[in-house]
């Protein structure tokens, strides 16, 4: 067996500075900074015609520390004026739903919408508008890494889960988005128009609560 001295091992087996590969320090992503950068991009977005009529880009707001993420479909008139999500009548009902779950807006929840600009006359967003905003939403989810996602209404459910299933089919079970649990329920504006459906929505939220409790 050939014996090599210590200097040979140092010089030729990767230990000498000339041959040693330098390991780069891992890049640390600051979600607060990254989200601010993405929000600025959204504020300057002109991918579709919604920018022509919007007063505000309603990006999202809330806690960034593994919150419950609530995703609606689009800002309404009140949100367009204030620049904040869910501040109208539907927002007040959502606040009550969140409080009933023993959660609190802003402290352990994050609220946003599929699209960030108000469609004229509060119409449903079309597929072009949804696709144009898709990267903003996926970036929010991937950076915030929520404990669970609650989609509000069919449009939000279909956008997150990438399908066209009806809300009745999607309700009552836990889905997955990039290994994050997703629960689908009714939009608060629908519940305002159909108050008898609130029991079903509460059953959905209880399912989410039990799932999170069992996971912890």
Report in angstroms the alpha-carbon separations of 196 from 42, 59, 101, 190: 37, 31, 19, 10
Helices 31-43 and 127-144 cross at an angle (nearest 10°) of 160
Q: How far apart are the C-alpha atoms of 177 and 106, rounded to whole Å?
A: 23
State the sign of the Cα–Cα–Cα–Cα dihedral 41, 152, 154, 140. Answer: positive
> What's the confidence (pLDDT) of residue 10?
47
Question: Which pLDDT tens digits describe the chain residue by residue (216 residues)?
Answer: 555 555 544 454 444 544 455 555 555 578 889 999 999 999 999 999 999 999 999 999 999 999 999 999 999 999 999 999 999 999 999 999 999 999 999 899 999 999 999 999 999 999 999 999 999 999 999 999 999 999 999 999 999 999 999 999 999 999 999 999 999 999 999 999 999 999 999 999 999 999 999 987
Q: How far apart are the C-alpha atoms of 199 and 195, rounded to whole Å?
A: 8
Q: Are 79 and 58 in contact (CB under 8 A)?
A: yes
Burial of 62 (0-12, 13-18, 19+ CB in 10 A): buried
> What's the confidence (pLDDT) of residue 98?
98
Q: Say which CATH architecture domain 28-215 belongs to.
A: 3-Layer(aba) Sandwich (3.40)
């Amino acid at each position: 067996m050939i014996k090599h001295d210590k200097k040979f091992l140092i010089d030729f087996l990767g230990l000498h500075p000339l041959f040693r590969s330098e390991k780069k320090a891992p890049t640390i992503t600051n979600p607060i900074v990254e989200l601010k950068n993405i929000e600025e991009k959204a504020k300057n977005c002109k991918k579709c015609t919604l920018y022509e009529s919007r007063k505000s880009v309603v990006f999202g707001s809330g806690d960034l520390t593994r919150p419950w993420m609530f995703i609606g479909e689009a800002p309404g008139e009140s949100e367009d004026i204030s620049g904040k999500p869910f501040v109208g009548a539907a927002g007040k009902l959502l606040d009550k739903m969140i409080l009933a779950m023993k959660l609190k807006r802003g402290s352990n929840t994050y609220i946003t919408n599929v699209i960030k600009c108000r469609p004229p006359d509060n119409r449903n967003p079309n597929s072009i508008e949804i696709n144009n905003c898709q990267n903003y939403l996926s970036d929010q989810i991937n950076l915030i890494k929520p404990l669970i996602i609650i989609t509000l209404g069919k449009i939000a459910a279909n956008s997150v889960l990438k399908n066209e299933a009806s809300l009745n089919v999607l309700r009552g079970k836990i889905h997955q988005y990039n290994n994050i649990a997703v629960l689908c329920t009714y939009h608060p504006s629908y519940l305002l128009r159909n108050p008898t459906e609130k029991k079903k929505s509460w059953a959905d939220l209880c399912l989410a609560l039990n799932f999170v409790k069992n996971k912890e």
